Amino acid sequence: MRSPLAERAHHLSTNSVEPRTGLNETLRRDSRLCCLGRPASTILSSVAHSLDTRYTMPETQLDVRALDKAEAYRTLRTQFDALCEGVTDEIALMSTMACVLQLGFGHLWTGFYRRVGAAKLIVGPFQGTIGCLEIEFGKGVCGTAAAHKETLIVPDVNAFPGHIACDARSRSEIVVPVLDRGGELIAVLDIDSERLAAFDEVDRRELESWVRWFAKVT
């Protein structure tokens, strides 16, 4: 059974009528894709094929940057759920979540800081450039989000007092607290982008639902 998104992409790739859907519009707008010199329908059918779960091994790397954000998260979530079905190991879940999100969106840094002791965060599984190793509660974006158990969206890291710059290319950031079944903070999920204001309410909503995985298994 094709996923709804694969169904839409398939519909787009086989119909001459140019329906007004996000995927097609994105492809038309996104010159990077158009400059591949291949007609949109060819690109669409290859997108359809790559998103069609009948053909996609869960391990397939999905690049969803051509999709609108909510659709991109839905596509990656289908993959993550397929990969992690029945998995309860925290490090395995953190590693796979960081990898699926990083490969999907291509951000500068995607990873976790795990709580160790009362008020310290230690870098955990991550993808991207070197991350700072330790952060105290209340310090930086990660430490502040941890101390308040609150998601922080930072449109411009240089405007955030006390921001900790692990990589000078980072321009915006989102940090989401990860809670266990009892509501205790066990980690934060941190994502850095080289673009200003890369994160919004869609990211908050989606990422908060992703980290709820941990409340199910811890």
Alpha helices in the chain (DSSP H): 4-14, 22-29, 31-34, 40-51, 69-84, 90-105, 140-148, 201-217
- Whichever of 40 and 164 has its CB closer to ligand SME, that residue is 164
Q: In 3D, which of 68, 62, 63 has the Cα closest to residue 83?
A: 62
Per-residue binding string, ligand SME, 9-48, x by CB under 6 A, is ----------------------------------------
Judged by CB under 6 A, does residue 131 bind ligand SME?
yes
Where does this chain touch ligand SME (CB under 6 A) — which range of 15-23, 25-33, 75-83, 159-167?
A: 159-167
Radius of gyration of the chain (CA): 19
Q: Which two tokens stand for residue 49?
A: 């094929």
State the Cα–Cα distance between residues 39 and 74, nearest whole angstrom.
26
Residue 116 and residue 108 in contact, taking contact as beta carbons nearer than 8 Å? no
Measuring CA to CA, how many Å separate 40 from each of 20, 25, 37? 14, 10, 9
**Residue from 132, 153, 179, 217 that binds ligand SME (CB under 6 A)?**
132
Output the six-digit token pair for 34.
């158009």
Of 64, 94, 99, 166, which one interacts with ligand SME (CB under 6 A)? Answer: 166
State which of residues 190, 199, 203, 210 lies at the interface with ligand SME (CB under 6 A): 190
Stretches 16-24, 33-41, 97-105, 161-169: which one binds ligand SME (CB under 6 A)?
161-169
Determine which residue in the list 73, 105, 109, 137 makes contact with ligand SME, applying CB under 6 A: 109
For position 140 contacting ligand SME by CB under 6 A, the verdict is yes
Of 82 and 130, the one with the shorter C-beta distance to ligand SME is 130
* 8 Å CB contact between 186 and 218: yes
Residues making contact with ligand SME (CB under 6 A): 109, 131-132, 135, 140-143, 163-164, 166, 170, 173, 190, 192
